[in-house]
């Protein structure tokens, strides 16, 4: 009897772990996302970043469908709602919004790339170099970054992107904090879109992302929006 109950418990656990996401929407890791696309014979892949981001490097076979323009609606309407659709952006925020819209439009199976292109790069997966896509500009290297912070007593690094809403909210908070320190703290802002090599080297999978360095050594880091009260504790 005990053996039967134990087997039943294991079966229920496995069943609960493999249960598909509610409403047909599921977040996947970078490797899961890649494998799912490769094993799905009729993959429909939407890149919901801006056209400039798309041309800088994208997943093979992806369709450019900027979520902030009519391009997304037009691209979505051209897809088969009964087939799986895969969506991604830089860090996962815009694609989550796009995935919700696809579900609302009646798509039965929607997969979102958790962490976006940042997670894709961190997993050492390749971006497309097919016709219509140019090689992604590497931007700042880790070595160049280390040179920038060398010799600085205290510096905050703000990793951001121009399209990132929380990054825009955080920016004036950081600037006001640094100003109040009267030169004791320096602020360096780094656009992850323009510096993909550095973002990959640091395994940045979400923004805003902050780092604090004392005498060139990392002493604190934070992912996501943060308030002035937390900064005052640094």
- CA angle (115, 196, 137) in 5-degree steps: 140
Report the DSSP pairing between strands 154-160 and 209-214: antiparallel
Please name every residue paired with 221 in a beta bridge, in sequence order, or none if there are none.
211
Residues of the chain with pLDDT under 70: 1-22, 129-138
The set of catalytic residues is 164, 167
Supply 171's token pair.
């920016």
- CA–CA separation, 15 vs 130, rounded Å? 40
Spell out the alpha helix ranges (H) of the chain.
2-17, 30-39, 51-55, 70-77, 93-104, 116-122, 142-149, 165-180, 196-201, 228-231
Domain extents for the chain?
A: 21-122, 142-231
* pLDDT value of residue 129: 59
* pLDDT value of residue 167: 95
- Convert the pLDDT of each residue in 33-76 to its tens digit: 999 999 987 789 999 999 888 988 899 889 999 999 998 998 99
- CATH C-level class of 142-231: alpha beta
* pLDDT value of residue 132: 43
pTM for the model: 0.66
Homologous superfamily (CATH) of 21-122 is: Rhodanese-like domain (3.40.250.10)
Please name every residue paired with 85 in a beta bridge, in sequence order, or none if there are none.
44, 110
């Amino acid at each position: 009897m005990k053996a039967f109950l134990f087997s039943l418990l294991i079966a229920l656990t496995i069943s609960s772990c493999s249960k598909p996401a509610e409403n047909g929407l599921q977040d996947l890791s970078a490797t899961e996302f890649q494998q799912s696309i490769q094993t799905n014979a009729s993959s429909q892949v939407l890149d919901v970043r801006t056209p400039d981001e798309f041309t800088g490097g994208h997943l093979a076979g992806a369709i450019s469908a900027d979520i902030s323009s009519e391009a997304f609606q037009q691209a979505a309407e051209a897809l088969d709602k009964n087939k799986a659709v895969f969506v991604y952006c830089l860090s996962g925020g815009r694609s989550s919004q796009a995935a919700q819209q696809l579900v609302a439009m009646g798509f039965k199976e929607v997969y979102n790339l958790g962490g976006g292109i940042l997670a894709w790069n961190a997993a050492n997966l390749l971006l497309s170099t097919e016709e219509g896509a140019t090689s992604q500009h590497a931007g700042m290297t880790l070595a160049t970054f280390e040179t920038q912070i060398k010799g600085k007593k205290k510096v905050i690094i703000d990793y951001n992107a121009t399209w990132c809403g929380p990054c825009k909210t955080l920016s004036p908070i950081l600037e006001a904090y640094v100003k109040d320190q009267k030169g004791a703290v320096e602020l360096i802002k780094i656009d992850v879109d323009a510096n993909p090599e550095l973002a990959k080297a640091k395994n940045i999978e979400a923004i805003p992302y902050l780092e604090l360095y004392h005498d060139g050594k990392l002493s604190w880091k934070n992912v996501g929006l943060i308030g002035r009260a937390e900064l005052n504790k640094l």
